Amino acid sequence: MKKRLHQFSLIVILSVSGLALHGQGVLLLSNLDQLPFQSPPGLDLGQFLAAPFITGSSPSIFDSATVALRVSELPTGQVHFYLYSDANGLPASQVIGGALNGPAAPPFPGGNYTYSATVPILLSPDTQYWLVGTQTVGSSNPSYAWRDTESYDYSSSVGWQLPGYCAFGHDQGASWVSSADAPIPSPLMFEISGTVVPEPATCNLLGIGLLLITVVNRRRLRLSFPVARLPHRSGTL
C-alpha cells in the first residue's frame, strides 16, 4: 500500500510538472503562414503601426514576438517594437518592460524577425494588447514595411484571438486610427510565444503530490529505525 502511494505521488508530481512546463516558450498565436499583400504598409517616423491580440482564459507570460518585415535595398534608420496596453480598442501606453529587444536594422530583403522581452511580462487573461512597430527616420519611401494580409485566419492552441484589423498613427503614437471599419482591414502578420501560467487547480495538485511524497518518506524513515522495546514484565514486584 505504501509503495503504491509513493508511486501515485510521483505520477502526480511528474504529470503536473509536465503541464506547468509545457507552456514555456510555446507558440501562443500566429498568422505568419498566411499569404501577404505585395505592398505592405510602411513603418517610419510619420507612421507607427499596431497589431491587436486578445489573450486566453489563463494568465500568460509574454516571451517574444516575431514579425514579418519587408526591407528596402538601402535601409536607413532603425525599427523598434513595443508591447502596449489597450484603451477603448486602440493602443494606450507601453506596458512595464514593453520595450522589446531585437534587430534594429534588419537586412534586405526582409523576413521574419524576433523581438524579445528583457524582463518577464505578465499578461492578464481575456485582455486585448497591442504589438506596436516604430521607426526612427521619416521618409516618403519607408525603409521598413510590416507585412499584412487579407486573410483573417490564424492559429492558437491556447484560446488566444487575433482581431482582423490593425491601427496606425501619424503623430508618433500620440493618437491612433483603427482599420476595423476599412473595406479591407488588413491584419498585420506576426506571432507571439510565451508561457501559459498554470491554473490554481494545477498548482493545488502539485502541492498535494509533494505532501504525499513527504508523508510516505517519513513513514519509511520510521520503519527503518524501529523504536527500542523494554523487556516484557510479568507479574508484579
The pLDDT tens digits of the residues spanning 199-213 come to 664 455 455 556 656
Kindly state whether residue 123 falls inside one of the protein's structural domains.
yes
Which has the closest alpha carbon to 147: 20, 34, 25, 225?
34
Kindly state whether residue 83 falls inside one of the protein's structural domains.
yes
> Does position 230 have pLDDT exceeding 50, yes or no?
no
Confidence of residue 12 (pLDDT cuts 50, 70, 90): very low
Residue range 29-49: average pLDDT? 95
Q: Three cell numbers at 177?
A: 486610427
Residue range 75-82: average pLDDT? 95
Statement to judge: residues 12 and 70 lie in one domain = no
Query: Within 13 Å, how many C-alpha atoms sit on residue 62's CB side?
Result: 34
Statement to judge: residues 171 and 61 lie in one domain = yes
Least confident of 71-75, 86-90, 125-129, 181-185: 181-185
> Does position 7 have pLDDT exceeding 60, yes or no?
no
Confidence of residue 9 (pLDDT cuts 50, 70, 90): very low
Residue range 83-102: average pLDDT? 97
Kindly state whether residue 70 falls inside one of the protein's structural domains.
yes
What's 77's domain CATH number? 2.60.120
Statement to judge: residues 94 and 11 lie in one domain = no
- Residue 172 sits at the vertex; the CA angle it makes with 170 and 176, to the nearest 5 degrees, is 55
Kindly state whether residue 178 falls inside one of the protein's structural domains.
yes
Residue range 144-173: average pLDDT? 96
The mean pLDDT value of the chain amounts to 83
> Does position 88 have pLDDT exceeding 60, yes or no?
yes
- Asked if residues 190 and 20 have their Cβ atoms less than 8 Å apart, the reply is no
Residue whose entry in the numeric block shows the C-alpha cell 517616423: 45
How many domains in the chain? 2
Kindly state whether residue 230 falls inside one of the protein's structural domains.
no
Cα(209)–Cα(8) distance, rounded to whole angstroms?
A: 8
pLDDT exceeding 90 applies to what percent of the chain?
66
Statement to judge: residues 8 and 109 lie in one domain = no
> Does position 218 have pLDDT exceeding 60, yes or no?
yes
- What is the pLDDT, as a whole number, of residue 172? 86
- What is the pLDDT, as a whole number, of residue 229? 45
What are the respective helix, strand and coil percentages of the chain, to the nearest 5? 20, 40, 40
Confidence of residue 159 (pLDDT cuts 50, 70, 90): very high
> Does position 225 have pLDDT exceeding 70, yes or no?
no
Statement to judge: residues 10 and 85 lie in one domain = no
- What is the pLDDT, as a whole number, of residue 223? 55
Statement to judge: residues 6 and 41 lie in one domain = no
CB contact burial 27-40 (16+ within 10 A = b; e otherwise): bbbbbbebebeeeb
Statement to judge: residues 157 and 204 lie in one domain = no
Segments forming the whole domain that contains residue 133 = 25-196
- What is the pLDDT, as a whole number, of residue 37? 95
Kindly state whether residue 72 falls inside one of the protein's structural domains.
yes
Sign of CA pseudo-dihedral 157, 32, 129, 23: positive
